[in-house]
A = this chain, B = another copy of it.
């Protein structure tokens, strides 16, 4: 078939490929999954709606679907990132939850512990301070925010570890589907903040897992 599954990637990058579910039909997802199962790889599918997931699970019933994050996962080995630390997943509002959970589930699929700090946006900053110590003790934070996207700037000024920030498309009007939050994060005057694409919870977590792995292998 046309899709060339990148088994080589695990060699190059230490992680198996993750299947991007959007725009793939169930058959394509089943085929790619089977190829990975044959190699005893853990299989994670992101951005897959419930009905599509259910069709896939008819063929591959060992998959587990998670509604909040819209992910399918099947554990086929224990090659985890052995981890003494944890990743803080911090998000601004309840509407950012799907992206936050995509990040959380991705990190957990790679065997890393995550701690969730949700609905702690800057407009009520006492909510953030209530948890700040536990956030500071993480190895790395993934900070997720829509609307004006100011949360990473505040977190970045309070922690001494890297912050991966994820803008979300939550908002309306002059938000321009996440552009506002994206620009905010790129222009942060706090140091130690880097950015991934709008709504890319997967990407935020993937970067964090790579950093967590450094902590464990050094």
**Which A positions have Cβ atoms within 8 angstroms of B?**
2-4, 6, 8-9, 12-15, 18, 22-24, 28, 84-85, 92-95, 97, 118-127, 139-140, 147-150, 153-154, 156-162, 164, 167, 169-200, 202-203, 206-207, 210-211, 214-216, 218
Contacts and interface: CB of A to CB of B under 8 A. Distances in A.
Given A123-B189, A148-B189, A150-B150, 12 more contacts: A3-B119, A13-B157, A15-B160, A28-B94, A92-B189, A122-B150, A122-B190, A162-B210, A169-B173, A173-B186, A175-B187, A193-B207
A183 B176 contact: yes
A198 B9 CA distance: 29
11 contacts: A13-B159, A122-B189, A123-B188, A123-B191, A174-B178, A174-B186, A179-B183, A186-B197, A192-B207, A193-B203, A195-B196
Nearest to A2: B118
A124 B9 contact: yes
Contacts of A140: 214
